[in-house]
Structure 1
Amino acid sequence: MSTVKKSSGTTGNQSKRIKVAAIVVAAVVVVVLLAMWIRSTTFGQDFIQQFPGHSELPAGTPDGLPAWLGWQHFLNAFLLVLIIRSGIQVRTTTRPAAYWTRNNKGLTRTKNAPTKISLELWFHLSLDVLWVLNGLVFAVLIFATGHWVRIVPTSWDVIPNAVSAGLQYASLNWPTENGWSNYNALQLLAYFATVFIAAPLSFLTGLRTSAAWPKKAAINKYFPIEAARAVHFPVMIYFVAFIAVHVFLVLATGVLRNLNHMYGNRDEVSWFGFWIFVISLVVMAGGWLLARPLFLRPVASLMGKVGR
């Protein structure tokens, strides 16, 4: 009887997934057809002509992508991949491989005894610290070099241009890509949201849910841990979705030229940036494989006590 019930439940779940998939496909088809129809109208054509999908950058904006941005891009991707991996481990691990306790001495000495946390959580928090430091360096450099205007809206016409870019993407007649000089409005808004909204939210909510946050802080009344948890995981989902769309567009809009922009510091179609990208993937894969208790224990023991 239990086997029959289990089989019936599995069949029901599969049926629901098929229905959801069918609804998603139907919705995508409707959106594409609607966008194509709008573009065929006089209104749609006039709208796209008036708002081509990108805002004009202020005079004096630096052209091209600097070499330091390539390093920042690699470090950010490397750390984000491991942060997402370790974050999922923290949520799903029921029996941690080991526990870590901070050394309570020197500059890190506190009145109360350090809290013991899982090795997975220690790894996640350590990666967070490196990611935040990398983000701070990025913020300093983009504002110091003037590149901030490429990912921060400077004109209200970014809104209609974003609508125009979205309409062009949806109609499968994509806007002209020129990432070396100027992102389209949707890209600009996505980068702005990622750097200045999602990243700070991820950091603050993650810090609030960690053992490093003071348990009796006055702000806890207005920033409860339940609220932080409710925001932290959806922000991670946002980052996963952003990475998926970002990688897809890199591959679909001129992969060699895009990879040269991101990794080769040049605006040309060649294999130079591609091979640097391949090397970065090898490094990421190595980091993924080494992110195991066997290799994490000796590193964690340099900063605290590792045990059961």
Structure 2
Amino acid sequence: MSTPTNKQAAGIAARWKAFGLPAKIISTAVTLVLILLVLVLAARGLSSLDGVKSFLATYPGHSDLPDGAPVGLPAWLGWQHFINMFLILLIIRSGWQVRTTKRPAAHWIRNNKGVIKTKNAPTKISLDLWFHLTLDALWVLNGTIFIVVLFATGQWMRIVPTSWDVFPNAISAGLQYLSLNWPTDNGWVNYNGLQLLTYFITVFIAAPLAIITGLRMSGAWPKNAKTLNKIYPITVARAVHFPVMLYFVLFIVVHVTLVLATGALRNLNHMYTSSDVVNWWGFGIFACSLVVMAAAWFLAQPLFLRPVASLMGKVTK
């Protein structure tokens, strides 16, 4: 199989441009497809080598869990998964609006005469930023509950590396994915090495980074703490916060794709019905959750946000 030349790629981009898509987006998409094609061909070539075959046989892609590790996904984890998905979708939306909107439709200022009084004068912020910060607070609360219950129930053993062979197994799983000869998946029992490391990075590295950098950029950060601000300047937080958001977008895209491509009905039952069966119940609940999120996406606009924000402060146009 031969890969398309630059001239062929340009022709593909020209044909898509006829549909009115921006040239930069078309060029980027075509480049990514070509890179992915090259990686797939390279992975398939490597997988045919005797040494690599031996490596894949020694490390099939998943590690054994510690004794006493729980089997299956409890109902609380399914609810946590939905709430997190619901919040992160709106957080990404509102965060992008904060970053790109030059003239906000409305502003919000907190009420300093309420039950909780503060010494500093209220600061006026855009309604988009108020929505983003409110979602952030709910996301942190949900995440805190998740971490506590995760360790209380032993479910942490499913997403925290407990042996060094998780790393060669992750390489093995990645090679199998790239070669399109995907590893045997049984998420009801345990995740493969690549999944485990990805979930660990998402929960214990990316999420805390999002919180720490977001807090640094928020009005809650002490502005007069000169030493602290010198150690942790706001420019660093801004430089990290946006790439972390892009990581979450990439994670969601890949995660949903693999859920649907590696046994959709069974995987959706794992997450939405806490059962290891193959039927349409999980898919039905998943479809309903998409409707809920689509409705929330539509309602997340100034017309509907103003009455809610007014309960927590003053909204001005």
Amino acid at match of 1:29: L
Return the offset for 1:46.
0.7
* Alpha-carbon distance in 2 for matches of 1:169, 1:270: 26
Partner of 2:272: 263
The Cα shift of 1:29 comes to 2.4
Question: What TM-score comes out, normalization by structure 1 length?
Answer: 0.93
Match of 2:182 among 174, 185, 192: 174
Q: Secondary structure at the match of 1:108?
A: coil
**1:141: which partner in 2?**
149
Using the TM superposition, give the Cα deviation of residue 80 of structure 1 relative to its aligned residue in structure 2, in angstroms.
Answer: 0.5
Q: Does 1:81 align with 2:89?
A: yes
Report how far residue 24 of structure 1 moved. Answer: 3.1
Q: Deviations over 1:21-49 (max 9, x none)?
A: 55433332222122112211211111011
- Among residues 231, 241, 248, which one is paired with 1:232 in the alignment? 241
Q: Which runs of 5 or more residues in structure 1 are unaligned?
A: 1-9
The 10-residue stretch of structure 1 (201-210 or 101-110) with the greater mean CA deviation from structure 2: 101-110
- Map Cα deviations across residues 150-179 of structure 1 (whole Å, 9 max, x no partner): 000011111100100011011110000101
Specify which of 276, 294, 308 is matched with residue 299 of structure 1: 308
Number of aligned positions between the proteins: 298
Between the aligned partners of 2:23 and 2:88, the Cα distance in structure 1 is 34
Q: 1:289 aligns with which of 284, 288, 298?
A: 298
Question: Which residue is 1:223 aligned to?
Answer: 232
- The structure 1 residue matched to 2:139, chosen from 131, 135, 143, is 131
d(CA) in 1 for partners of 2:245 and 2:179? 29
Q: Distance in 2 between matches of 1:204 and 1:156?
A: 29
Q: Distance in 2 between matches of 1:243 and 1:286?
A: 19
Counterpart in the other structure of 2:12 = none
> Post-superposition shift, 1:117?
0.6
Comparing 280-289 and 96-105, the one that deviates more = 96-105
Indicate yes or no: 2:162 matched with 1:154: yes
1:47–1:130: structure 2 CA closer, same or farther, 3 Å change rule? same
The answer for the alignment partner of 1:277 in structure 2 is 286
For residues 131-166 of structure 1, the C-alpha deviation after alignment (integer angstroms, 9 at most, x for no partner) is 000000100111000000100001111110010001
State the SS of the aligned residue for 2:235.
helix
Root-mean-square deviation (CA), in Å?
1.8
Distance 1:50 1:226, change over 3 A: same
TM-score (norm 2): 0.90
Q: In structure 2, what is the Cα distance between the partners aligned to 1:105 and 1:52?
A: 62
Match of 1:3 in 2: none
Tell me the residue number matched to 2:40: 32
Rounded Cα–Cα distance in structure 1 between residues aligned with 2:113 and 2:258: 49
C-alpha separation between the residues in 1 aligned to 2:312 and 2:27?
51
CA distance in 2, matches of 1:17, 1:255: 30
Using the TM superposition, give the Cα deviation of residue 109 of structure 1 relative to its aligned residue in structure 2, in angstroms.
1.4
Greater Cα offset, 101-110 or 126-135: 101-110
1:295 deviates by: 1.1
2:52 to 44, 50, 59: 44
String of CA shifts for 1:57-113, please: whole Å, max 9, x gaps: 000001000000010000000000100110111111111111111121455312121
Aligned to 1:242: 251
Distance between the aligned counterparts of 1:15 and 1:287, measured in 2?
31
Q: Kindly provide the amino acid, as one letter, of the partner of residue 139 in structure 2.
A: W
Matched, 1:102 2:110: yes
In structure 2, what residue type is equivalent to 1:284? M
Which of residues 101, 118, 122 in structure 2 aligns to 1:114? Answer: 122
Instruction: Tell me how far apart the structure 1 counterparts of residues 268 and 61 of structure 2 sit (CA, whole Å).
Output: 22
Q: Which residue of 1 aligns with 2:67?
A: 59
Gaps of 5+ in 2: 1-16
